[in-house]
A = this chain, B = another copy of it.
Amino acid sequence: MILKRWLVGDPLKTAQARHERLSKTIALAIFSSNAISSVAYGTEEILLVLVLAGTAAVAWSIPVSLAILFLVLVLTISYRQIIYEYPEGGGAYLVARTNLGDRPALVAAAALMIDYVLTVAVSVAAGVAAVTSAIPSLFIHREALGLVAILFTVIMNLRGVRESGKFFAIPTYFAIGALVLLVVAGTLKSFSPSSLILPTNPIMPDKATESLTVFLVLRSFAAGCSTVTGMEVISNGVKAFRHPESKNAATTMIWMSAILASLFMGISWMAYHYGIVPKAGETITSQLARLTFGTGVVYYAIQIATMMLLVLAANSAFAGFPHLASILARDGFMPHQMATFGDRLVFSNGIIILGIFACLLLVIFEGDTHALIPLYAIGVFVSFTLSQAGMVKRWLVKKGTHWRKKLLVNGVGAFTTGIATIIIASTKFMQGAWIVFLLVMILILMFQGIRSHYKAVAEQIALDRRGSRPPLPRRNVVIIPISGLNRAVVRAVDFARSRPGEIRAVFVDIDPEESAKVKIQWAQWGGGVNLIALPSPYRSVLGSLLGYIEEVLEKDHDTWVTVVIPEILPARWWQNILHNQRALMLKAALLFKERVILTDVPFHLTR
């Protein structure tokens, strides 16, 4: 508990919730790190595919980057409309649910949940790659470094959104500043005459393993689509902005897209201009930073900044995932406990679950960004498409002012993201996207199973409209299991005698000598209560007791059995391993029997 307080902080009152609103500057830091940090791996993933067709094919990185720039533009305009239309927060799940119905909404929710986990894993892996590019000796520890980063983020998030907001704003701006510096300085340098330096040791110098086909270009586009992941984050969090929420959110969206677009295009251009290709153990950005500034203070600052930005991107998923889970829980698609705020006004359960799954993914894929990328983006694009399609449906139904223009915008958005989704799914399917499809289906089945369970429960426990109360069994048999006589037992017997019902003390006859002693003592202390000795050829105390209770329940279906357990409770918690194993087992076994009421009569020891 003390550890928890120190790590997580003191509990916050519910009344404090409304003050946890974010200014635009802090919101940009929290919500944009996910999108902007993608520039650290986006260009690299494009080149990794193109280089398969030889260094000449690398020139295709520019058109592919332009296609992705177009995607950024379309998404920005489309999402601004969602922000204005859904000031309460317009996640893909909500938009799809209100416009398209439950099934598409669950597809969007499942896709998003998987992508949140992947965001954490990919970002942390890429962040660690930024560090190991600078300090190659850490390369073998990348998994451990990644796990530490996730743990750190989990703890920060359990502290609550506002404090982590403040905490993360400074490094985010530092990181954006560092990357802007790299792109500006590098681009300027690239136009100076002395700029054409050849890369030192590219992976496969013209050893093309595949030919330059349309499919390969599309694959490189699909890989590059990881750049636009995270653009939806602001639309989910409109409610967290200060008043006027939608306007502030829309403005922040523009800033974010502008930064993302210019950094991405800058890096793609530089990589093309300098002929840089991916290299094992060093990222493209690291290579660019080395070329531009040399391996000095500025280089290390850029690497650290990149790493921090990527950890912050992971952090943004820790806001999104628990929030989505809580909405799903409120709609009955996830366990109820996901919907409850923790001490610090954050959805603690969601944060912890996301942390666990991200760690698992990181370990399974050995902390390798490239291995994770084929799974990534597909989920985001499915949800992009569904929310744009939902908006299209909305304008068609709702109409309202300028609906034709709005329909066109979201129509273009739906079409573009739909095409991108198909490209990603078809080119990445065999490399891992199938896992995502499988998981989406499993998650949907889980959502539906949970919902139908809660529905069935609600029906079964619903109160009768005519006011009739559920019947109570007429008789009540009180059973006190004992193994010997002591003050705890006598107290339980006296307690039972003070209430109505037929009382029977039972003990399991294992050792005849012991049994005789119990019977003699019972005559003095039993208070007139019947003592029943149960035979137990197999020495199972629990089995004999359960058998007897079942017998009583069977004999008369209109009887309760109240089991009164005399429980000896030690003064110190660790002494429990010396006690209570039997009482615990009995309680666990009885809990699931019908018409059995469990009553614990405690006897507390003082030393």
Instruction: Spell out A's residues near B (CB within 8 Å).
Output: 11-15, 335-337, 340-341, 343, 450, 453-454, 456-457, 460-464, 467, 469-470, 472, 485-488, 490-491, 494-495, 498-500, 510, 521, 524-525, 537-540, 567-570, 573, 575, 577-579, 581, 591-607
Contacts of A578 in B (CB 8 A): 335-336, 450, 453-454
Contacts of A569 in B (CB 8 A): 591-592
Contact assessment for B467 and A494 in the assembled complex, using a CB-CB cutoff below 8 Å: no
16 cross-chain CB contacts under 8 A: A15-B537, A340-B539, A456-B607, A457-B570, A457-B579, A460-B607, A461-B486, A461-B487, A461-B603, A462-B486, A464-B487, A470-B494, A470-B603, A472-B495, A594-B602, A598-B599
A479, chain B: closest CB distance, angstroms = 14
Q: For A342, give the chain B residue with the smallest CB separation.
A: B539
Contacts of A581 in B (CB 8 A): 337
Q: For A607, give the chain B residue with the smallest CB separation.
A: B456
Contact assessment for B472 and A485 in the assembled complex, using a CB-CB cutoff below 8 Å: no
Complex-state Cα separation, A343 to B539, whole angstroms:
7
Contact assessment for A487 and B500 in the assembled complex, using a CB-CB cutoff below 8 Å: no
Question: Quick one: which of B340, B462, B495 contacts A487, CB cutoff 8 A?
Answer: B462
Contact flag A453-B11 (CB < 8 Å), given A472-B491, A591-B569: no
Contacts of A604 in B (CB 8 A): 592, 594
Contact flag A463-B486 (CB < 8 Å), given A539-B14, A598-B600, A601-B597: yes
Closest A-B pairs by Cβ, 6 of them: A461-B486, A13-B537, A598-B600, A11-B538, A599-B599, A461-B487
Contact flag A463-B487 (CB < 8 Å), given A591-B569, A594-B604, A605-B457: yes
Contact flag A606-B460 (CB < 8 Å), given A470-B491, A578-B450, A597-B599: yes
Q: For A343, give the chain B residue with the smallest CB separation.
A: B538
Complex-state Cα separation, A486 to B568, whole angstroms:
34
Complex-state Cα separation, A568 to B594, whole angstroms:
11
Question: Quick one: which of B454, B485, B597 contacts A600, CB cutoff 8 A?
Answer: B597
Question: Quick one: which of B14, B461, B462, B537 contacts A14, CB cutoff 8 A?
Answer: B537
Contact flag A487-B460 (CB < 8 Å), given A500-B498, A537-B14, A591-B600: yes
Complex-state Cα separation, A97 to B537, whole angstroms:
33
Question: Quick one: which of B453, B454, B490 contacts A470, CB cutoff 8 A?
Answer: B490
Question: Quick one: which of B11, B335, B494 contacts A469, CB cutoff 8 A?
Answer: B494
Contacts of A453 in B (CB 8 A): 570, 575, 578
Contact assessment for B472 and A498 in the assembled complex, using a CB-CB cutoff below 8 Å: yes
Contacts of A337 in B (CB 8 A): 581
Complex-state Cα separation, A602 to B596, whole angstroms:
7
Q: For A595, give the chain B residue with the smallest CB separation.
A: B602
Question: Quick one: which of B485, B538, B575, B606 contacts A13, CB cutoff 8 A?
Answer: B538
Contacts of A567 in B (CB 8 A): 591
Contacts of A13 in B (CB 8 A): 537-538
Question: Quick one: which of B463, B499, B603 contacts A485, CB cutoff 8 A?
Answer: B463
Complex-state Cα separation, A462 to B578, whole angstroms:
18
Contact flag A460-B14 (CB < 8 Å), given A470-B487, A598-B599: no
In the complex, which of the residues A461, A464, A537, A579 has the most CB atoms of chain B within 10 Å of its own CB atom?
A461
Q: For A450, give the chain B residue with the smallest CB separation.
A: B578
A436, chain B: closest CB distance, angstroms = 25
Question: Quick one: which of B454, B485, B540, B603 contacts A11, CB cutoff 8 A?
Answer: B540
Known A453-B575, A456-B605; further 15 A-B contacts with Cβ < 8 A: A13-B537, A14-B538, A336-B578, A343-B539, A343-B540, A461-B568, A463-B485, A463-B487, A464-B487, A467-B524, A472-B491, A472-B494, A567-B591, A569-B591, A597-B601
In the complex, which of the residues A485, A538, A540, A581 has the most CB atoms of chain B within 10 Å of its own CB atom?
A538
Contacts of A14 in B (CB 8 A): 510, 537-539
Complex-state Cα separation, A463 to B487, whole angstroms:
6
A560, chain B: closest CB distance, angstroms = 8
Contacts of A340 in B (CB 8 A): 539
Contact assessment for B461 and A12 in the assembled complex, using a CB-CB cutoff below 8 Å: no
Contacts of A488 in B (CB 8 A): 461
Contacts of A498 in B (CB 8 A): 472, 500
Q: For A490, give the chain B residue with the smallest CB separation.
A: B469
Complex-state Cα separation, A79 to B601, whole angstroms:
52
Contacts of A510 in B (CB 8 A): 14
Complex-state Cα separation, A597 to B340, whole angstroms:
28
Contact assessment for B335 and A12 in the assembled complex, using a CB-CB cutoff below 8 Å: no
Q: For A456, give the chain B residue with the smallest CB separation.
A: B607
Contact assessment for A463 and B499 in the assembled complex, using a CB-CB cutoff below 8 Å: no
Contacts of A499 in B (CB 8 A): 499-500
Q: For A495, give the chain B residue with the smallest CB separation.
A: B472
A475, chain B: closest CB distance, angstroms = 11
Contacts of A577 in B (CB 8 A): 335
Complex-state Cα separation, A336 to B579, whole angstroms:
8
Q: For A494, give the chain B residue with the smallest CB separation.
A: B472
Contacts of A495 in B (CB 8 A): 472, 597
Complex-state Cα separation, A495 to B597, whole angstroms:
10
Question: Quick one: which of B341, B470, B598 contacts A598, CB cutoff 8 A?
Answer: B598
A460, chain B: closest CB distance, angstroms = 5
Contacts of A464 in B (CB 8 A): 487
Contact flag A460-B600 (CB < 8 Å), given A343-B538, A450-B578, A469-B494: no
